[in-house]
Amino acid sequence: MILAQFWRRDDLWEGCDIVTTGPYTALPDAQKEFQETLSGFSATDRPLYKDYSRCVHCGLCLDHCPTYRLWGKEADSPRGRIRQMKLVDEGRLELGESFVTHMDRCLDCRACETACPSGVEYGKLIELARAQIQQKYSRSWASRMTRDFVYRWLLPHPGRIRFVARVARLAQVTGLQGLVRASQVARLFGMQERLQLLPRIDRKFFDASVGRTFPAIGARRARVAFFAGCIARVTFTELNDATIRVLQANGCEVVVPAEQRCCGALAAHAGLRDVARELALINFRAFAGSDFGVIVTNAAGCGSALKEYLHLFDSHSASGDDAAEFSGRVRDVTEFLDQLGLVAAMRELPLRVTIQDSCHLLHGQKVREAPRRLLRAIPGVEIVEMTRADQCCGSAGVYNVTETRASMDLLAEKMTNAAASGATTIVTANPGCMLQLRAGVTMHGTRQNVVHVVELLDRAMAKG
């Protein structure tokens, strides 16, 4: 009760760019489901009272929130953002620039969910808040064009991704990208760090393997479908190939469905839930059938989105049934291999490694020990835990592009902790984290290698 009364004092919000229309007053039960005319939210895809009211304002999330740790502002903490959602829903706070700024600053890393004793589904709430922003707030013309290009025109279409990737590779192999990064134009517009974060485009795309079936090596123990991602098809072909080899070596027949598309995670995080729904429906059809019981992904961010497709649909609809069935089959590759058990022979790898927990694997999917058990199974590998291994590296989808300064501050802390571990190799379980950490190695000169858990397994299982 004391904590709740303390939280409800409006003077706590001074300096946080939040203005309410009056002191907090408890609403009678009849008003808990707010009418559209009284609410700042529209009826479609809105944060619900039953979800945000679970927050008891205890503050246990604060030390786990990267943006609160950076800036120390309540408005940039999980409970602070939840309160803003509540105020907008009550019609006491404008869905305007201040609200949008604080929602955009969130990494959606979901570390607060792991710390929360009340089980608040913060990831769902922040995505719904951004869906309201998408519906009701007019961003700048440049922002609208960029968002439509990335989320609507590019990511849902593999052919367009390939086209853009070929153009980007041409810029990389000719040195044009390096010239742009070193130019005064890049300095003027603050693009140098963003350009350094761009992935290296593969010479050969993984698309050549889409639609194929890869046989198990030895006795078949499982038949699985592999989710290949979208950008990963043109930037992480080696990782995808390694994933298939490791699955094969452990008795899995691997199917790569031809019609699969982007998981929709980035669109959902940005508030474009209509795009995410369309992609989910395509993936339901692509992975339909009972001839494989498990859908495997090597990207923690994709896996979290795939497991939560039900959040996009009415649970009582046909699409809701499809979402529940689909999501029930999804496993992260580390989770699946840990459950299946490794049977492939492995050679010794004398390595000292430290683990960066991918946020959407640890906090989204609640998978922590599986990657560690797999690494301990490799002869010669020594694990040294880094300080705050469970804290976001600052990648967070496209956060390192949209909120570059905050992302770089988080990356700097991560690289300090990684270097202090004394490990020669940083291991993680998400391609986005790998890109961010590799950039961090270059920027901070730690001389460490950055690899996926599966890549070390592949190296240990390789003959010769």
Tens-digit pLDDT profile for residues 199-252: 789 999 999 999 999 999 999 999 999 999 999 999 999 999 999 999 999 999
Angle in degrees, 0-180, between the axes of helices 122-136 and 97-104, rounded to the nearest 10: 140
Element (H, E) at 281: helix 273-286
Q: Which amino acid is at 178?
A: G
Query: Residue 437: is its pLDDT beyond 60?
Result: yes
Query: Residue 55: is its pLDDT beyond 90?
Result: yes
Contact 101, 288 (CB under 8 A): no
Mean pLDDT confidence for 28-48: 67
The pLDDT of residue 23 is 40
The pLDDT of residue 180 is 52
pLDDT tier for residue 38 given thresholds of 50, 70 and 90: low
Mean pLDDT confidence for 132-160: 95
Query: Residue 70: is its pLDDT beyond 60?
Result: yes
The pLDDT of residue 36 is 46
Query: Residue 64: is its pLDDT beyond 90?
Result: yes
SS (H, E, C) 117-177: CCCCCHHHHHHHHHHHHHHHCCCCHHHHHHHHHHHHHHCCCHHHHHHHHHHHHHHHHCCHH
The pLDDT of residue 171 is 84
Mean pLDDT confidence for 355-360: 96
Mean pLDDT confidence for 403-409: 93
Element (H, E) at 322: helix 318-327
Picking from 365, 370, 352, the residue whose alpha carbon sits closest to that of residue 418 is 352
The pLDDT of residue 375 is 97
Sign of CA dihedral 107, 108, 109, 113: positive
Biggest CA–CA distance in the chain, Å, is 72
The pLDDT of residue 177 is 57
DSSP state string for 209-278: GTT-EEPPSSS--EEEEEE--STHHHH-HHHHHHHHHHHHHTTEEEE--TT-----HHHHHHT-HHHHHH
pLDDT tier for residue 292 given thresholds of 50, 70 and 90: confident
Distance CA 403, CA 392 (A): 14
pLDDT tier for residue 62 given thresholds of 50, 70 and 90: very high
Query: Residue 1: is its pLDDT beyond 50?
Result: no
Q: How do residues 316-326 score in pLDDT, each as one tens digit?
A: 899 999 999 99
Query: Residue 22: is its pLDDT beyond 70?
Result: no
The pLDDT of residue 172 is 80
The pLDDT of residue 355 is 97
The pLDDT of residue 168 is 87
Residues 6+ apart with CB under 8 A from 148: none
- Percent of the chain beyond pLDDT 70? 86
Candidate from 30-34, 55-59, 395-399 with smallest mean pLDDT = 30-34
Q: How do residues 266-286 score in pLDDT, each as one tens digit?
A: 999 999 999 999 999 999 999
Q: How confident is the prediction for the chain on average, in pLDDT? A: 88
